[in-house]
């Protein structure tokens, strides 16, 4: 019988640079760990990548992207899913 966390154990063994997270089943918050114990009654996951935010200026004359907001220049905020890269939201500034 395979260990409950077999797939994560293999993923972490193949790439120890990934950050794993754990939590007890009665907890809401995930905790980072660099040395997982793989306790059977805990939950584990690969830490999700945070959303990526980009700012841009859109006008009739030009369009350009910024990695960080440029005050009084940018007029749109784009938020992308950190895992899939899909667009989550567009906000007018």
In this structure, the answer to whether residues 41 and 14 fall within a common structural domain is yes
Residue 61 lies in a domain: yes
CA-to-CA dists, residue 66 to 10, 11, 38, 72, 77, angstroms: 38, 34, 41, 13, 10
Do residues 58 and 33 both lie within one domain? no
pLDDT tens for residues 10-35? 999 999 889 999 998 888 999 999 88
The answer as to whether 1 is a domain residue is: no
Split into its structural domains, the chain has a count of 2
The pTM of the whole model exceeds 0.85: no
Residue 41, in any domain of the structure: yes
16 and 38 in a single domain? The answer is yes
Residues 15 and 33 in one domain: yes
Sign of CA dihedral 11, 12, 17, 21: positive
31 - beta bridge partners?
Answer: 22
Task: Residue 61: give the domain boundaries.
Answer: 52-92
Residue 85 lies in a domain: yes
Which of 41, 38, 36 has its CA nearest to residue 5?
38
Q: What six digits make up the tokens of 36?
A: 């997982």
Encode pLDDT of 45-66 as tens digits: 999 999 999 888 887 776 666 6
């Amino acid at each position: 019988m395979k260990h409950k966390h077999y797939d994560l154990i293999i993923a972490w063994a193949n790439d120890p640079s990934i950050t794993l997270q754990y939590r007890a089943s009665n907890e809401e918050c995930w905790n980072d760990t660099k040395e997982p114990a793989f306790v059977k009654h805990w939950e584990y996951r690969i830490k999700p990548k945070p959303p990526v935010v980009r700012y841009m200026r859109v006008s009739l004359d030009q369009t350009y992207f910024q990695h960080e907001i440029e005050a009084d220049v940018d007029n749109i905020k784009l938020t992308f899913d950190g895992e899939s890269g899909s667009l989550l939201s567009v906000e007018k500034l």
